[in-house]
Amino acid sequence: MAESLVLRGGTVVHTDRLAREDVLVVDGKITGVGIDIEAPSDARVLDASDCLVGPGFVDLHTHLREPGGEEAETVATGARAASLGGYSAIVAMPNTTPAIDCAAVVAQVLTLGRLTGIDVQVAGALTRGREGHSLAPMAEMAALGVTMFTDDGMGVQDSGLMRRAMEYARGLGVVVADHCEDEALAGTGSMNEGSLSARLGLEGRSALAEEVMVARDLALAELVGCQLHLLHLSTGRSVELVVDARKRGVDVSAEVAPHHLILTQDLCSTYDTLFKVHPPLRTQRDVDALRLALADGSLDAVATDHAPHPPQSKDRPFADAAPGMLGLEQAFALTREALGGASADPIRIFEVLSRRPAAIARLRTHDARLGGHSAHGGDVEVGDDANLCVVDLDARPIVDPERLASRARNTPYAGRVMQGAVRHTIARGDAVVIDGEAQR
Ligand SMILES: [Zn+2]
């Protein structure tokens, strides 16, 4: 039985208004929301003064590395890092070893997820082994509660196969998510293609490699009529393509990663492989366009693309190093910064980090299947499952890689001052983070 707790003195971020309210949680549910609310005498009191209280964050894009990559991250360490980032639910990407491409591996990761403090959902692979040759058994994975399918790490290069995947997805009522990069165009490029890559002597990975596949996927989704989610869009032109498609009625959502909102290709001038990621860091013009699109609703969600790597995968020449960077523990502060810092709209912050991603991953309602997750991204009302996040707007922590909960250390934000911090995280009714400390 979960404990009783009360969040005192915070500002609750509802879907359409802010309110100075306390929130009472009993047995996993929100049982009271109001001013100076009465709580049971044994309820744990958590201070939320000078904080926003909203629905727990939901990450659509977490690499947990288990099975097969446990030296970089495990389901347990990744879930702990997520809870410290304010997340009550995450979606684990299927590019593990073996890939999450059948019911057995789905069940394995879901079982490990249930041992953590938060809800761990799983994205299934679209193709067997994520090899891009034949469709994975999507139906058996969907039967376990998988609602999102992707070969993330790579896009599906074969357009005919992608069309068939979308047709199956439509029939199953699930979402196709794509990592948009045309490998023939991206080649072995390791940073954004342009005059800077030429000057640095690094092979470029063009914006077009992404945009061509975004355009293709939008056209296929329009033809097939399936729900499409585009992962980690990194260019202004990609967003324009999404906006145009949406006007034509295409059922598309799109996410952006914190690093594409905060960092630019200029960091690659250091040849520090912490800044290598696919799709690559782009130009300031792209960063500006992505920030505008996130604020105006053209982009739906911030998703971390949290990608832990062991040191030996990063301590290599830039061209040979593994792409990817950590993101879970800093996503809130970076999202706030991207949305304007002190002037960022709290309602929009919780839309892009919680409510929209919960809707996209179909996590807004309880699921009793093996996935067995509670409901996320709610309005913070009586009767909701208690998945909550309390963020301190005045805190200014400095990122110290040695203090991360993630098993890996490949953060690009070392030494950076964060625009706020997560104070408490409530998941499934339990306080899994109190005063910035993980409780399990
Ligand atoms: Zn990806």
The answer on 60 and 22 residing in a single domain is no
Give distance in angstroms: CA of 82 to centre of ligand 1: 18
pTM over 0.75: yes
The answer on 355 and 250 residing in a single domain is yes
pLDDT tens across 313-340, in order? Answer: 999 999 999 999 999 999 999 999 999 9
Give distance in angstroms: CA of 154 to centre of ligand 1: 6
The answer on 128 and 46 residing in a single domain is no
Start-to-end CA distance of the chain, whole Å, equals 16
Q: Which residues are catalytic?
A: 305
Give distance in angstroms: CA of 257 to centre of ligand 1: 10
pLDDT at 398: 98
Q: Report yes or no on 369 lying in a domain.
A: no
The answer on 324 and 396 residing in a single domain is no
Give distance in angstroms: CA of 69 to centre of ligand 1: 17
pLDDT tens across 342-384, in order? Answer: 999 999 999 999 999 999 999 998 887 766 889 999 999 999 9
The answer on 349 and 214 residing in a single domain is yes
> How many alpha carbons lie under 13 Å from residue 435 in its C-beta half-sphere?
3
The answer on 236 and 99 residing in a single domain is yes
d(CA 102, CA 107): 9
d(CA 252, CA 297): 13
| Domain tally, the chain | 2
CA distances from residue 308 to 38, 183, 328, 401 in whole angstroms, order as listed? 43, 22, 10, 12
Question: Which residues span the domain enclosing 27?
Answer: 5-52+381-438
Give distance in angstroms: CA of 403 to centre of ligand 1: 26
Give residue 244's pLDDT band: very low, low, confident or very high (50, 70, 90). Answer: very high
Q: Report yes or no on 305 lying in a domain.
A: yes
pLDDT at 367: 83
- Residue carrying structure tokens 């034509």: 248
What the block records as the tokens of 38 is: 């009465």
The answer on 156 and 15 residing in a single domain is no
The answer on 13 and 140 residing in a single domain is no
Q: Report yes or no on 47 lying in a domain.
A: yes
Boundary (domain end) residue, out of 309, 331, 360: 360
pLDDT at 372: 80
The answer on 396 and 273 residing in a single domain is no
Boundary (domain end) residue, out of 328, 360, 392: 360
**Per-position DSSP letters for 415-427, written without gaps between them:** TPBPS-EEEEEEE
pLDDT at 371: 67
The answer on 158 and 35 residing in a single domain is no
Asked if the model's pLDDT at residue 280 lies above 70, the reply is yes
The answer on 29 and 10 residing in a single domain is yes
pLDDT tens across 389-415, in order? Answer: 999 999 999 999 999 999 999 999 999
pLDDT tens across 420-430, in order? Answer: 999 999 999 99
Asked if the model's pLDDT at residue 2 lies above 70, the reply is no
The answer on 34 and 73 residing in a single domain is no
Q: Report yes or no on 371 lying in a domain.
A: no
pLDDT tens across 258-277, in order? Answer: 999 999 999 999 999 999 99
pLDDT tens across 193-237, in order? Answer: 999 999 999 999 999 999 999 999 999 999 999 999 999 999 999
Asked if the model's pLDDT at residue 252 lies above 90, the reply is yes
